[in-house]
Amino acid sequence: MVQHPQETYLYDPSLLLKLDFHRTPATFKPFISAANPGEPWMKVRPLKDTDYDRGFLQLLSQLTHVGNVNRTQFLTRFSQMKASGDYFVTVIEDTRKNEIIGAASLVIERKFIHNCSVRGRLEDVVVNDTYRGKQLGKLIVVTVSLLAEELGCYKMSLDCKDKLIKFYESLGYVLIPGNSNSMTIRYDEGTPLKRNATSASSSSSTGAGGDSCQTVSLDFAS
Ligand SMILES: CC(C)(COP(=O)(O)OP(=O)(O)OC[C@H]1O[C@@H](n2cnc3c(N)ncnc32)[C@H](O)[C@@H]1OP(=O)(O)O)[C@@H](O)C(=O)NCCC(=O)NCCS
């Protein structure tokens, strides 16, 4: 059993208690919020430096490839994120099991435009597969979306697969006609420009199996 005498939050947890879940278009039945997630054993909170031992990376591996990240690497990345002040990795913990069961990240991007405003990007949304279908996906996405507004973002956007558009639309995100394409160059899969030229000529615009990505946005302008 690993002891955690002193734990550090990635960001101030009291920020989550301020969020007004009546502001979201999402429907919660029954009503839940970050402050009251509906079960006494469930906690919505910022990532902690000790979450390496609560299965945080194993949860992320249900979303994508994580790799063999050791404790030192995890703690180094955690410290870098905390020092920057722009990373709001948020988790749901099952405190009965000492296990992270849901996560989503808000990343703040600082701009010169819009009077040196800031925008939010929603990244790495995942709920443990044995807990899906119980509103936790909505809970974690709405939490970081409201947090983005609380932190002064003028908008929040994300990339998702076609099949999740309806899920995000139910939470207030919209596909902006003519301006919701997601484009990528990968640097971890060989020569990027050459590879993209090949894939562009061999796949349709919607991608095989409906796996294409689109960008959806949440606009906070009043
Ligand atoms: C997407 C995900 C986070 C949803 O979590 P969840 O806890 O099951 O979501 P909820 O219980 O809050 O469901 C919310 C609604 O979205 C719908 N929904 C959830 N997952 C869906 C999916 N994969 N495809 C289509 N609809 C989905 C639900 O049917 C539900 O609809 P309802 O409100 O009308 O009943 C979860 O399926 C997941 O972790 N998937 C794997 C990782 C992933 O794809 N992440 C998103 C990257 S953009």
- Tell the burial category of 106 from Cβ atoms under 10 Å away from its Cβ (0-12, 13-18, 19+): buried
State pTM to two decimals: 0.90
pLDDT digits (tens, 9 = 90+) for 129-179: 999 999 999 999 999 999 999 999 999 999 999 999 999 999 999 999 999
Distance (Å, rounded) from C-alpha 90 to C-alpha 17? 13
Q: How confident is the model at residue 213 (pLDDT cuts 50, 70, 90)?
A: confident
Say what the pLDDT of residue 202 is. Answer: 41
Residue 188, pLDDT > 90, answer no
For ligand 1, atom 10, which residue shows the shortest CA distance? 135
Residue 204, pLDDT > 50, answer no
Say what the pLDDT of residue 52 is. Answer: 98
Say what the pLDDT of residue 5 is. Answer: 73
For ligand 1, atom 18, which residue shows the shortest CA distance? 167
User: Which of 33, 66, 127 is the best mutation target for the ligand 1 pocket, counting ligand atoms within 8 Å of the beta carbon and taking the most?
Assistant: 127
Range of lowest pLDDT (118-132, 143-157, 207-221): 207-221
For ligand 1, atom 28, which residue shows the shortest CA distance? 133
Domains of the chain: 14-157 (3.40.630.30)
Residue 195, pLDDT > 90, answer no
Query: Tokens at residue 110, please?
Result: 């600082």
pLDDT digits (tens, 9 = 90+) for 4-55: 679 999 999 999 999 999 999 999 999 999 999 999 999 999 999 999 999 9
DSSP secondary structure string, 6-67? S--BSS-THHHHT--GGGSS---SS---SS--SSTTEEEEE-BTTGGGGTHHHHHTTTS---
Say what the pLDDT of residue 45 is. Answer: 98
Residue recorded with tokens 């992320």: 60
Residue 180, pLDDT > 50, answer yes
**Cα–Cα nearest to 119, from 219, 26, 18:** 219
Residue 3, pLDDT > 90, answer no
Q: Residue 168 Cα, ligand 1 centroid: separation in angstroms? A: 9
